[in-house]
Each structure stands twice: as structure tokens, then as C-alpha cells.
Chain A
């Protein structure tokens, strides 16, 4: 190894897991910075997702580096909601007499939004001559 190795070879000495972690956290950090700088109610991680997407389009190496970490995190996404959910469950009692109307509003509006959203998607896709994407069987 010569004294003046290019930077590319230096990063090759960092384990891929660490590089992946650095890439994900770095995008989130940049996203948080932007979110605070422009004072829009869009959270940092959503901007971070956009930064990461740009990086992935730009660098094939980044794709290979982050894939194992991403698969691990997204494969266990439901675990991450548990702490906030516990807090929400403990709060359920505080709703008082608004509980009924609020539960009804949430359930009806969520089912309506899923239905209207999916029907709109399917309708506009058909109108614009798009073929639906149904390659896998509907599973539970």
C-alpha cells in the first residue's frame, strides 16, 4: 500500500455495516438540519429519505452497502412502534366521553381513505392506459 492511496481505498477499510450505519444516520442528520432550517412541518427523516434516494440513484456501491442493514430494519418495522403504542394505550382512559365519537371518526375515515385512495389509483391507472401490477397472488 502506497502512502497516497485514493480516498476510495480508505473507505474500503471500513466494515460495510459501519458505512451503512453512517450513510443512514448521515441522511437523517442532514434531513433534520434542513427541516429546522426551512421551518416546514415536514420531519427530518422524510427529507432524509429523499437524500438517501438521491444517493442510491447516484451510487451503485451505496445500494449494495446499505441493503443488509435496510432489510434488517424494515423487516422488523412493527417492533419500532411498540414504545409509542404503549404510551397511547395508557392514554386511552383520558378520552372521556369523546372516546366513542373519536374512535368512530378514526375507523370510518381510515377505511374510507384506504378505499377512496386505492379506487382512485386503480381508476386513474386504467384511464392512463397503465397495466395493473398484480404479479403475486393476494395473500393474507
Chain B
């Protein structure tokens, strides 16, 4: 038995299967708990997998050898966001001004408030550099953090926490503000919480999802411009 385990534990197939199984488990729990955004299926899957890795003494590197096949699909998925964007192209054209205004306002707010709060608590400049691009999609945020002297792994953690927070709280916050325009709800969520927010928006409404994907793509570029500039004011 231990022999079979020690063989399988090194096989990428095991951790690929575990990733999909943990997500399926997450979906079941998510549906059982009445589809609360706080208990989203991928958060449950991550928690379960992290516990399994710790319990079996498996390193993240071993795990990722299997999980990378799922992780890789993030790139093609970003390309796929072009289709809902195409489907909503006339709406996007009509809303060009609100989109531009919300992009600048959302991106500025995300970077400036995060840096403001962290630096008020005396967080060091290298950690601030990893925090600044947190609302951009992971690939961009890592590059921006590295350019300004921050750690890319810490940046990935900040990006991830931002996404979870956005996916969990976007709906209650937007309901509280009584914003009913699906374009506004989706776009702001995509700008603030990248792919996680976009996935959440697609679960709620297709128009919100399309605008969230647009917000994520545009904020990747906006953050690349704004984050280094705003960071300089806090150093």
C-alpha cells in the first residue's frame, strides 16, 4: 500500500486528479450551503488541497507538476474572454466614457488605498512594491512587482487575496450601494478583482461577466502604468 502511494504521490496524474476532484467537492459544498459567494468552490478546493499537501508532506513543487495542466489553461481562458466581449461590443462602444472613467477611478482607488493603509502600519517598501499591483491579473502583477523591487511570490499572494475578497464581497457591497446596472457591477468587479471577480461575475449575469472581463484586461494595462507612479509617492 505504501509502495503504491509513494509511486502515485510522484505521478503528476495523482495531483491533477486531486485538483479536479477537490473542485468537484467544492461545487457540492457550495451548492449545499446555498451558493454563498463566501464559500466559493475554488476556495473550498484550495483549502482541502492545502490540508492534504500538509498532511501527506507533499511539496508544492510536486503538487504543481500535476496541477500545472489546469493552471496552464488560464492563458487560453483569457483569450476566450474575447467572445463575450464581442457579443457585447455595441454595448461596450456606447458605454466608452463610463468605462474609461470607472477604469481610472477603480484602478487609482485600488492602488492608493492599499498602499496608504499598509504604509500607515509601517509595512516596508519592498512589501509595498509587492502589494501595489494586486488588482491586476496575476501575470501582470508579478511582472510589475518585480520591476519595482517586490517579491513575485508575495505579489501572487496579494493578487490571490484580492481576488477572493472581491469574489466574496462584490455582490453584497454592490447591493448595499443599490447599483443595479449590470455593466457597472461587472466592470468594477473585473477592475478591482481581476479573473476571480470575472469568474464570479459570469456566475451572476452574462452582461456583468463580459464587462468584468473587459475591466480585467484594461486594468492589466492601467495598473502597469499607475502602480509604479503611485508607489513612488509612498517610498
Same complex: yes
A24, A88, A115, A135: the one within 8 Å of B79 (CB): A24
- In the complex, chain B residues whose CB is within 8 Å of the CB of A80: 70-71, 73-74, 77, 195
A 38-87 contacts with B by CB, 8 A: 40-46, 48-53, 55-57, 63, 66-67, 69-70, 73-75, 77-87
Taking the complex as formed, is A17 at the interface, i.e. its CB lies under 8 A from any CB of chain B?
A: no
Q: Is A140 in contact with chain B by the CB < 8 A criterion?
A: yes
Q: Interface SS of chain B: helix, strand, loop or mixed?
A: helix
Interface of A is mostly: helix
B110 nearest CB neighbor, chain A only:
A113
- Shortest Cβ gap from B21 to chain A (Å): 11
Whether B220 and A43, one on each chain, are in contact in the complex, defined by CB atoms closer than 8 angstroms, is yes
Residues on A with beta carbons closer than 8 Å to the beta carbon of B36 = 140
Interface membership of A104, Cβ < 8 A: yes
Cross-chain contact A85 with B224 (CB below 8 angstroms): no
Q: Are A45 and B110 in contact (CB under 8 A)?
A: no
Binary A-proximity of B79-123 (CB < 8 A = 1, otherwise 0) = 111111110010100110111011101110111111101101111
Once the chains bind, are A105 and B177 in contact (CB under 8 Å)? no
Query: Known: A25-B76, A53-B85. Is A106-B139 also a contact (CB below 8 A)?
Result: no
The answer on a CB contact under 8 Å between A132 and B184 is: yes
CA distance A58 to B49 in the complex (A): 43
Q: Which residues of B contact A133 (CB under 8 A)?
A: 91, 181-183, 207
CB within 8 Å of A: which residues of B? 19-20, 22-23, 35-37, 40-43, 45-47, 49-50, 53-54, 60, 63-64, 67-68, 70-71, 73-86, 89, 91, 94-95, 97-99, 101-103, 105-107, 109-115, 117-118, 120-124, 127, 131, 134-135, 137-140, 143-144, 147, 153-154, 156-158, 160-166, 169-171, 173-175, 177, 179-185, 187-189, 191-193, 195-199, 202, 204-205, 207, 209, 213, 215, 217, 220-221, 224
